[in-house]
């Protein structure tokens, strides 16, 4: 029996007809589902639909360097909405090493700077861009599995003092689980709809 091997000498960025593919920038192609998250009385929202559960915690014995939590949904997480955890301003949205794509939102909470980080979206799953102002519970993205990821999930972090800054200094990662537990049990609130 003989086998014939065929090879193609075409780059991934070039289609078979010779035209170049167009890569969309994050925050420019996806569309929101119209979903909104519930907001607590003190302004926090669960960062995805409340049927999502934490499946990997903050700095566990098995993952001491895990600076956030991973949230997945039974029945599948891909393209589930991601909500802003609090009112704030988007300071980063797009490619980031290890995250595929990320979104970072800067919040002011009781006079302190807190950054929330959302990771592993695909390009079309980033629904905001740097400089956007967002409200707690507003849809900002869609769950993906880009970057260092073993399956669709939302990686979520909170940083007291900020995750990134102009001078290269970063704040301190903070366990988001107490805030998330409270936010998961929040009742519907119209503040998330006034975008």
Over the stretch 109-132, which tens digit does the pLDDT of each residue have?
999 999 999 998 998 999 999 999
Query: With contact defined as beta carbons under 8 Å apart, do 79 and 142 qualify?
Result: yes
Q: What does pTM read for this prediction?
A: 0.78
- 93-113 pLDDT, tens digit each: 999 988 899 999 999 999 999
CA dist 119 and 102 (Å) reads 4
CATH of domain 52-186: 2.70.70.10
SS3 state of residue 193: helix
Residues pairing with 139 in the sheet: 83
Query: With contact defined as beta carbons under 8 Å apart, do 131 and 90 qualify?
Result: yes
Q: Is the dihedral of CA 54, 192, 44, 189 positive or negative?
A: negative
Predicted local confidence at residue 10, as pLDDT: 35
Predicted local confidence at residue 5, as pLDDT: 47
Lowest mean pLDDT across 7-16, 24-33, 37-46, 100-109 = 7-16
Predicted local confidence at residue 30, as pLDDT: 61
In the predicted model, is pLDDT for residue 1 greater than 70?
Answer: no
Closest by CA position to 91, among listed 173, 165, 31, 194: 165
Q: Which residues contact 158 (CB under 8 A, 6 or more apart)?
A: 68, 85, 114, 115, 116, 117, 173, 174, 175, 176, 179
Q: Where are the domains of the chain?
A: 52-186
CA dist 159 and 115 (Å) reads 5
Mean pLDDT of 62-83: 84
Q: What percent of the chain has pLDDT over 70?
A: 73
């Amino acid at each position: 029996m003989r086998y014939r091997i065929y090879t193609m000498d075409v780059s991934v960025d070039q289609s078979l007809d010779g035209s170049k593919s167009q890569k969309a920038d994050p925050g420019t192609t996806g569309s929101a589902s119209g979903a909104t998250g519930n907001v607590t009385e003190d302004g926090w929202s669960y960062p995805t639909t409340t049927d999502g559960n934490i499946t990997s915690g903050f700095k566990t014995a098995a993952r001491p360097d895990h600076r956030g939590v991973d949230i997945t949904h039974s029945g599948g997480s891909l393209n589930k909405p991601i909500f802003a955890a609090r009112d704030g301003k988007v300071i980063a949205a797009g490619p980031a090493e290890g995250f595929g794509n990320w979104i970072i939102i800067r919040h002011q909470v009781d006079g302190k700077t807190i950054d929330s980080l959302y990771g592993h979206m695909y390009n079309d799953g980033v629904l905001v861009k740097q400089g956007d102002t967002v409200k707690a519970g507003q849809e900002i993205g869609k769950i993906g599995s880009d970057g260092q990821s073993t399956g669709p999930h939302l990686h979520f972090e909170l940083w007291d003092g900020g995750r990134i800054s102009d001078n290269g200094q970063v704040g301190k990662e903070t366990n988001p689980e107490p805030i998330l537990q409270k936010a998961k049990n929040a009742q519907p609130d119209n503040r998330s709809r006034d975008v």
